[in-house]
Structure 1
Amino acid sequence: MWRRVVSLYPLLSPSKSSVLHRAKGGIASKEKTPFITFVLGGPGSGKGTQCAKIVETFGFTHLSAGDLLRKEISSNSENGAMILDTIKEGKIVPSEVTVKLIQKEIESSDNYKFLIDGFPRCEKNRIAFEQIIGKEPNIVLFFDCPEYEMVKRVLSRNEGRVDDNVDTIKKRLKVFSALNLPVIKHYTEKGKVCKINAVGTVDEVFEQVRQIFTELMV
């Protein structure tokens, strides 16, 4: 079962001051203010698979920070060249650059419901997002998956790749824990995190997700 770590701020609780008129409005917001969902979880936790099902079922637009960076690089723009050089040097792309790419996609979309997949990766990302976008996420989906299960899934998924060994995967998981869990802790304290038990079949996990978004749409 999915577990609401803390009450979902004002989103799921009835109020005379309707969420339709708040900046952090619900999914049915008449003003079409962006409804932003951060989707977080370690490598192999099933984020991508579940995002595809959320898009299909609830009509969200799926934004992946990694995909946006690769798209910018392939555009041969000056910004793309800078991103490529940064990655080649083994450095992290500045948070502001990534957030502005996300902002561009949000502002140019006809949709107002967004899944931001695998972002923010760290507190710097989170702070930059809130400063540039000017709002917090409405909710945060955290796919909670045991290390042994994530290792098994990534080994299966990456079969034949150079990095499909246990040691490399465990290092990635340590990086995730060090950088991403403080973000999850921050939003848990704000009552925005929905923790999903990510062990089970795709449909079993999605049933938890479906309940969350169905409740939000009421």
Structure 2
Amino acid sequence: MFSCALRYLSSYINKMVPEVVFVLGAPGAGKGTQCSLISKEYGFVHLSAGDLLREERQRPGSEYGEMIEQKIRNGEIVPVEVTCSLLHKAMQKSGQKRFLIDGFPRNKDNLEGWTRVMSDKTTLLFVLFFECSRDLCTERCLGRGAAGSGRSDDNLDSLQKRFNTYLNDTMPIVEHYEQQGLVRKINAEVAPEKVFEDVKKAFDACGLNQLTN
């Protein structure tokens, strides 16, 4: 918690430096649901790397659209230069200073790219990591797809590839930040409201107060 306090103090001294919380977890762990709740309670802007990529894929005339579509369908990771560019533009466009970055960094290349391009422009407060079993995550994603999520990767074949990518590429990133004392683990197998109770403890412990009505 001491490292978190130091980062928060540093960003408090320099009000112009955006504060960032990375949100990681397996596909279907409930990251999006929890990010929505955090945004309402703590005033963070929720930036989903996946959503930004899907929006760019659908944008008419996008030079990256076809490549992004192929990567998403194959459960692969989009080049970090593209993702960082989209995240940076979204941060600037919002005009805000507190951000949840959902689903990023997902591999070593993401981490190195963020460090190279964004580490001196932001303050990383901590990493929120949602733990959930593969079976439950798969069940949630397939249910989401059946309900009409509109996501081309909510199917069994894509999920298999996404989980392999998650285990091989993303878990080492979680371990990297855990060695720095920056990971806040959350049990994501319980009801969303219970998950959020644990999330609030992580934010409160970092001195991030809830918004007042």
Instruction: Give the TM-score range, shorter chain.
Output: 0.7 to 0.9
CA RMSD of aligned residues (A): 2.6
Q: Assess if the C-alpha contact under 8 Å between 2:26 and 2:132 holds in 1.
A: yes
Of 41, 51, 54, the residue aligned with 1:57 is 41
2:68 paired with 1:84: no
The structure-2 alpha-carbon separation of the partners of 1:195 and 1:29, relative to structure 1 and needing over 3 Å to count, comes to farther
CA offset digits 1:61-112 (Å, max 9, x no partner): 01111222233344435xx22x113235557532112101111222333211
Alignment of structure 1 residues 93-112 onto 2, 5 Å: 93-112=78-97
2:207 paired with 1:217: yes
Of 7, 10, 26, the residue aligned with 2:3 is 10
Give the secondary-structure state (helix, strand or coil) at the position aligned to 2:146: coil
Q: Assess if the C-alpha contact under 8 Å between 1:68 and 1:102 holds in 2.
A: yes
Give the secondary-structure state (helix, strand or coil) at the position aligned to 1:217: coil
Provide the C-alpha distance between the structure 2 equivalents of 1:213 and 1:144, rounded to a whole number of angstroms.
17
2:156 paired with 1:169: no
Provide the C-alpha distance between the structure 2 equivalents of 1:172 and 1:36, rounded to a whole number of angstroms.
25
Of 180, 193, 196, the residue aligned with 1:203 is 193
Q: Which residue of 2 aligns with 1:129?
A: 114
Give the secondary-structure state (helix, strand or coil) at the position aligned to 1:200: coil
Cα deviation, residue 155, structure 1: 2.4
Cα deviation, residue 121, structure 1: 1.3
Provide the C-alpha distance between the structure 2 equivalents of 1:203 and 1:159, rounded to a whole number of angstroms.
24
Task: Give the structure with higher Rg (CA).
Answer: 1
Provide the C-alpha distance between the structure 2 equivalents of 1:170 and 1:129, rounded to a whole number of angstroms.
27
Q: Assess if the C-alpha contact under 8 Å between 2:56 and 2:65 holds in 1.
A: no
Between Structure 1 and Structure 2, the one with more helix by share is 2
Cα deviation, residue 113, structure 1: 0.4
- The code of the aligned residue for 1:110 comes to G
- The code of the aligned residue for 1:87 comes to I
Q: Assess if the C-alpha contact under 8 Å between 1:12 and 1:216 holds in 2.
A: yes
TM-score calculated relative to the size of structure 1: 0.80
